[in-house]
Structure 1
Amino acid sequence: MSRVILGEFAHIVRRALEEDHGLVRPTGVQATAGGPRVVFEAGEIPLSPKPGFEHKPRPALVAEAAARYLATRWAEGPLPRPVPLDSFVALDDAFPHVFEGGTETPAGWHFLMWAGAEWLVETGLPKGFETAQAKEKFGSLRWYWHCDTERDGRTAGVIRAVEAVSAGICEVCGGPGTLRKGGWARTLCDEHAVRRG
């Protein structure tokens, strides 16, 4: 199982960080109460000197998002959990303070959204945090949010990392996926890409 999880981790990080994926090196898988967590080392991308330029997500945050996602997906044993068909209801019920009104995300990203919400709650939501919209756009997650206070880098970094990780997760089943173009861009595993065509 550890080999499969490490393979999924490498795939997701490669898709999320593209040419910078070599900055993340998994060192193993650790059993935790929340599921098997990938342990990793991560370097940093130099910050752009251009003011107002939106930086790429930090490799350490992307790796953490991927590790949290995989722990949630594999939490119940030797096989990954199936995604619930009523994902938006389950997310809203579990995290009403994060997803008030639900999400418009595909079911395959359920465990990613779950792990992201848990991470946000763990780090502390800023006052008045609200998800305005969470949806798929051009094959990856767009998570729009606002709060009553000035946006803090911690919350923005977590959400940006979760968005980046979506580029490596199948929208249908939650397995490793790749952006598929042609008509509507979608991130799909090989099996669901064949069914699409």
Structure 2
Amino acid sequence: MARVYRISEFAERIGRSASTVRRWEAEGRIAARRTSTGQRYFDESDVLAVLAPGFARDDRKVIVYCRVSSAGQREDLASQRAAMEMFCLARGLAVDEWVSEIGGGMDLLRPKLIDIMSRVKAGQVSTLVVAHEDRLARFGFDYLAHEAEAAGCEVLVANQESLSPQEEMVADLLAIVHTFSYRLDGLHRYAKSMKTDDLIGR
């Protein structure tokens, strides 16, 4: 009996995401078969058709984004990329572009991240791959993922926490404490100033 694939299995077989397969079907590039109960499936002939040289491929890019916080972590960056190469190879995911950046996870204005998100919103990226959520952003990952998905881009997380250095989290938490301490100090000085103004006004 011929091998049949559900959408997720078919996507893995051809090295694309399930969302890409669904979009191709909606655009008429491929046509799913259906069982007697109405369930969609694909078979090996569909796999061969997609992998054939003449198939009208998605011209949007698959991008892998790797990040560390400091220049002193360049070895960690190299390890992160090597691990992601293995991850993408295991999934049969064809990567078009590798992006590496040095910058804090709290900073959402990192130049390369901004460039990627601009291209995502412009519909130029089909899949954005990261090792762990905090490689994209320490806070705000859900929002970035939502914006990407709204633009038809899948954010694929390998979920390799070992590639998220613990010292980065400590540094980010200290930065948060410092920021709030500075703001609290400013509020205290503001409150003291207001009380002085009130006394002078009397």
Where on the TM-score scale, by shorter chain, does this alignment land: which range?
A: under 0.3
Query: What TM-score, normalized to structure 2?
Result: 0.24
Higher helix share: 2
Instruction: Give the number of the structure whose alpha-carbon radius of gyration is greater.
Output: 2
Query: What TM-score, normalized to structure 1?
Result: 0.24
